[in-house]
Amino acid sequence: MVKEVKLVVNINDMPIRGLPGTYARVYGVTSDIAVKCYLREDLGCPYPSVEGNLMWEYKIGTHLLENGVQVPEMYGIRQLELPGIDKMVWCLFMQRIDPVRFRNLNHDLQSDWIRQYEEQIKLATDLGYDVIDTNSPAKNTLFDPSVPRLYLIDFVRWRNPNITLDADNHQNH
């Protein structure tokens, strides 16, 4: 259940560098925590509200984690005061990954990236997910070479016939 808690954090480096998101904004809160938020409700989101979309992403992310799929740890959803925005914004708090670009890796790590990508997509598909927006190893994945580990991100549009958002929260379109 989403609680309306006023939480003010010091956003120390915003937004996170990397490929700019199409719809969402992602900010680094600390070196370990990132937040994802939508500043508009109408941009390709499958649910009619910002909280609904974030709850869906949180629910899927948690389910994937419980089933051993490599995604950032999901911490929860809270409202946050963001610099320069005059209203509280719903944010999904998650583990912040420190990724590298594919082209900056050596051949062995590139191969590892592709291998992990194929493995994680298969795991998610076997769990019943219709995996959307991740049609190449470099799309909506983050790779931390220090582990080395690939993380799938951005599953707001994923679907799974076995998983629904609670009826008292948000209806699908």
Ligand X SMILES: Nc1ncnc2c1ncn2[C@@H]1O[C@H](COP(=O)(O)OP(=O)(O)OP(=O)(O)O)[C@@H](O)[C@H]1O
Residue 61: half-sphere exposure toward Cβ, Cα within 13 Å: 24
Helix and strand totals (H; E) in the chain = 2, 7
In this complex, which beta carbon is closest to ligand X, that of residue 61 or of residue 112?
61
Around 26, how many Cα atoms within 13 Å sit in the side-chain half-sphere? 19
Least distance to ligand X, CB of residue 110, Å: 18
The answer to whether residue 77 forms part of the interface with ligand X (CB under 6 A) is: no
72 belongs to the binding site for ligand X (CB under 6 A): yes
Among 94, 121, 124, 150, binds ligand X (CB under 6 A): 94
* CA quadruple 104, 108, 109, 110: dihedral, nearest 10: 70
The single residue among 80, 116, 152, 154 that binds ligand X, judged by CB under 6 A, is 154
List the one residue from 50, 80, 96, 137 that touches ligand X (CB under 6 A).
Answer: 96
Residues that bind Mg ion (CB under 5 A): 140, 154
